[in-house]
Structure 1
Amino acid sequence: MQDSPDLGDRGGAVCVVGAGASGLTAIKNLRELGFAVDCYERETSVGGAWNWRHDRSPVYAGTHLISSRPLTEFPDFPMPDTWPDYPHHSQVLEYLERYAKHFALGEHIWYGMEVKSIVPAGDGRWDVTIQSTGGGSSRVQRYAAVVIANGHNWSPVVPEIPGDFTGQVIHASAYKEPSRLRGRRVLVVGGGNTGCDIAVEAAQHATRVWHSTRRGYWYFPKYLGNRPADQVYHRRTSTWLRDRRFRRTAADLTRWGVPAPDHAPLESHPIVNGLLPHYLGHGRIEAVPDVTRYDGASVELSDGRRIEPELVITATGYRPRFDFLAPELLDIDADGRPDLHLHAFVRKHPTLAVVGLVQPSAGLFPLAHWQSVAVARWLRLRATDPEKAAAVQKEESQRPLASWSRRKVVPTPRHWFEVDHVDYLKAVESLLTRMESAK
């Protein structure tokens, strides 16, 4: 790595926070529009959540994509055709490393540097305080704009379960390999994709597995016939037709004690797991209701039953965190939810944006790519023609929420950033068209 950048004013440069998938595509698309970019990454390599050597990575040894390769890859950098439909996490990391090398992004990344604060400096500019993760003094750099790409799957949500448990309790973020499951009685708490994946892995290694879910979800296979299911679901069709496809192909797990969903398929994040019905049907996973209390070696369930696991894994999700920003800058409410147009553009600060803060029904990378294209073009338009940029911003601010976000979702933090893959891309395309016509 070259020497640290000069202290002080970086002129028209843009600061990018994080060198995971979203940060990398932000660097690339900003550079393609001529911006100087400094990206600060607290770790010593790229990859973000997909680099399981990173302290904050939620990835474990058996992690694979749950969206298929064509719906996950960046549109301008395809994954190798020889790779499987659902690549392993090590291949995803290799892909991101190749992406960074191909577009020569490394020369714009400052590794081992953590952003400590971002504050307005007037005129739409920002003072960014950075510090080496190894310690030492901090420094302040001034930027024309800031793009935040620090991810939202690294700060675990730990459930508050009353009582004391004499066994072991870990969050899914601390689970890394199946050796800690082998020969043990395991309770997995959480009905999302991670919880289902770990329950399936436990079924192959543990002596007994309970899977606790609070509510019902829609469960879908990874394949329909010989095709990845998401390639069938996400054709450019109406929302009504996609809803119908989801309903026709979802697995009914209620016969094994899994709660029935109380919402439509498109109102929650899809659970993609073809092996969960298999292991439920073979008795290797036992579905149980919500956990209400710990009592020594026992766990009490909401139906009054008691079970005695040795290990409890809470796959209860993550919360977005922006510790380096005052909450009012992102209009963050009391629950911790930011208010962003397209989940990307900060309404009151047009030179501050977030990339990758979406929960799509298919792969994230294409959405992060087009988000960062839109951010880069917006910043360029604002610099070259402020009046037209203001007109676009005014028009966009009047766009109804339902045009780019799910009209109805399960009211939980897990679904704050839920978007339909196709509908969201259409909304971003519309914004790009408006900016193009504004020139």
Structure 2
Amino acid sequence: MHDTPDPGDRRDAVCVVGAGASGLTAIKNLRELGFAVDCYERETSVGGAWNWRHDRSPVYASTHLISSRPFTEFPDFPMPDDWPDYPHHSQVLAYLERYAKHFGLGEHVWFGMEVVSAVPADDGRWDVTIRSTGGGSSRTQRYAAIVVANGHNWSPLTPEIPGDFQGQVMHSSAYKDPAKLRGRKVLVVGGGNTGCDIAVEAAQQAAKVWHSTRRGYWYAPKYVFGRPADQTNARVLKWGLPRRLREWIYRRVVRLTTGDLTRFGVPAPDHGPFESHPVVNSQLPYYLGHGRISPVPDVARFDGAAVELADGTRVEPDLVITATGYRPRFDFLAPELLDTDENGRPDLHLHAFARKHPTLAVVGLLQPDSGVLPLAHWQSVAIARWLRLRTTDPVRAAAVQQKESTRPLASWSRRQVVPSQRHWFEVDHIDYLRSLDGLLKQMETAR
């Protein structure tokens, strides 16, 4: 006879993993539909990635939003009107703390507790094993559903560069303070938003800065026609113009604002304007033009004090910062539960709903062309209503699930993108919200 744990049965309660922005909005929207919620947060406070005191936070001292305030705030809890267009990370954390306090979310969070496993049980329920991050014994509890909001920007994706380097190599996740750059020769690897931001910061602090990118990107300014770029872009999207015409407008705007950066040695993009995640940085052209940033190709190998580049040239930095992104990790779930492929990419409907487990969902696993918080809000609304429908009318819920499963992938996921891990979860926010709205309307009809 096997010795099996006797899980504490939480009946209709829902387990939420993580009390960052996505976890908080999941708690709120589940509670509003009457669910009991237990949220487990490994840290001792809310905020997730935006709390830079947390050891997994990718935030550094000067981090600001790259999406503007109206496109970042939760739709039912606006940020203060007197805040800047692009708030500092400390303001975003304060906003999330106020959000949690306003909706009374803290009483549903178990801090200093991490989920170590979640296993399907009978009737779509889950046996969730948790333990204190300070050590000690674990316990298992049974839940009606599990909503995962553990973030996807905390496990560094470190490039495998052959050879040995005598200097210092660090991932951008470990970069916190510009004092680290002062007076040094710095090579920044990676052309995304973080790589560009750190290169700009290094241009103000370091003795020499090289910026290595694998390919060319489309670099957009933070302001277009005097307004934040995402606000201008949203107006164009609402016009419903054909993609080809929108691309033409985008190219013209970039040429008139950012200009042609290839004259500074930056490689030309090898893809269309909407086929990669937008890089929003107004200062990069400034420091390129002043010679404070030297663009260089991809890194080929380390060789003692030198770094050899793809074109055969060699540079000798003191410090190499790899801003090469993060990998999604769900260590407490067996990979097949999220239909995860051999590369670690989960296959979820709307990047949220597990296809084979109707009571398993993920919030915030998105890379939108705007702020992620409004999308996480509507994701969690849809998840809460879906879980409620399963309990009130399981027959109709099955019908909704069958119809929803036929929705074309291209209707909610940006299909024409650069084939890289950076774009696994890429969505156009308006198309994505339309798809969520379609699901919500189906569930309203099903009532």
User: Which TM-score band (shorter chain)?
Assistant: over 0.9
| Residue identity matched to 1:269 | H
Counterpart residue number, 1:300: 308
What CA distance in whole angstroms lies between the structure 2 residues aligned with 1:315 and 1:369? 28
Alignment of 1:159-308 (within 5 A): 159-235=159-235, 236-238=238-240, 240=243, 241-250=245-254, 251=258, 252-308=260-316
What residue number does 1:11 align with? 11
Tell me by how many angstroms 1:392 deviates: 0.5
Mapped to 2, the partners of 1:247 and 1:92 lie a distance apart of 32
CA contact (8 A) 1:331 1:338 kept: yes
Partner Cα distance (2:250, 2:386) in 1? 36
In structure 1, give the amino acid aligned to 2:148: I
TM-superposition CA deviations, 1:272-298 (whole Å, max 9, x none): 000000000000000000000101100
The one-letter code of the counterpart of 2:320 is V
Where does residue 46 of structure 1 map in the other structure? 46
Whole-Å Cα distance in 2 between the matches of residues 175 and 7 of structure 1?
A: 41
**Is residue 34 from structure 1 mapped to residue 42 from structure 2 by the alignment?**
no
| CA–CA distance in structure 1, aligned partners of residues 405 and 160 of structure 2 | 38
Residue 3 (structure 1) aligns with: none
Provide the C-alpha distance between the structure 1 equivalents of 2:315 and 2:230, rounded to a whole number of angstroms.
Answer: 37
- The one-letter amino acid paired with 1:300 is E
> Any idea what SS the aligned residue of 2:158 has?
coil
Superposition pairs of residues 378-417 of structure 1, within 5 angstroms: 378-417=386-425
Q: Deviations over 1:338-378 (max 9, x none)?
A: 00000000010000000000000010000000000000000
1:206-255, Cα deviation, whole Å (9 max, x unpaired)? 01100000011110000012210100102223352543332222233111
Q: Partner of 1:96 in structure 2?
A: 96
Contact 1:233 1:245 in 2 (8 A): no
SS at match of 2:200: helix
TM-score for both structures, normalised by structure 1: 0.98
Matches of 1:242 and 1:75 in 2, distance apart?
27
> Residue 266 of structure 1: SS of its match in structure 2?
coil
Q: Structure 1: 5+ residue runs without aligned partners?
A: 1-5
Pairwise CA distance, 1:191 = 0.2
Q: Distance in 2 between matches of 1:13 and 1:429?
A: 25
Q: In the TM superposition, what is the alpha-carbon distance from 1:265 to its structure 2 partner?
A: 1.2
SS of the counterpart of 1:15?
Answer: strand
> 1:358, 1:419 within 8 Å by CA — same for their partners in 2?
yes
Aligned residue for 2:120? 120
- 1:77 partnered with 2:77: yes
Q: Give the drift of 1:174.
A: 0.2
Q: In 2, Cα distance between the equivalents of 1:237 and 1:204? A: 40
Deviates more, 1:240-249 or 1:255-264: 240-249
2: CA distance, partners of 1:428 / 1:416: 19
Question: Secondary structure of the equivalent of 2:274?
Answer: helix
Runs of 5+ in structure 2 lacking a partner? Answer: 1-5
Question: How many angstroms apart in 1 are the aligned matches of 2:33 and 2:375?
Answer: 18
Residues 242 and 106 (structure 1), Cα distance of their counterparts in 2 relative to 1, 3 Å cut: farther
For 1:375-396, what per-residue CA distance to the aligned partner results, in whole angstroms no more than 9, with x for missing partners? 0000001110001000000000
Counterpart in 1 of 2:430? 422
Whole-Å separation in 2 of the counterparts to 1:237 and 1:305: 47
2:376 match: secondary structure: helix
* Partner residue in 1 for 2:3: none
Provide the C-alpha distance between the structure 1 equivalents of 2:247 and 2:30, rounded to a whole number of angstroms: 36
Residue among 333, 338, 349 paired with 1:330: 338
Deviation at 1:7, TM superposition (A): 6.4
Taking the aligned partners of 1:346 and 1:245, their CA distance within structure 2 comes to 38
Task: Indicate if the aligned counterparts of 1:189 and 1:313 stay in contact, CA closer than 8 A.
Answer: yes
Q: Are 2:7 and 2:127, in contact at CA under 8 Å, matched by a contact in 1?
A: no
Which of 370, 373, 379 pairs up with 1:371?
A: 379
Is this contact kept in 2: 1:190–1:316, CA < 8 A? yes
Q: 2:333, 2:102 → 1: CA distance?
A: 32
Q: Distance in 2 between matches of 1:245 and 1:60?
A: 34
What's the % identity of the aligned pairs? 79
CA distance in 2, matches of 1:247, 1:109: 47
TM-score (norm 2): 0.96
Q: What letter corresponds to residue 122 of structure 1 in structure 2?
A: D
**Aligned-pair distance for 1:266?**
1.2
Contact 1:233 1:242 in 2 (8 A): no
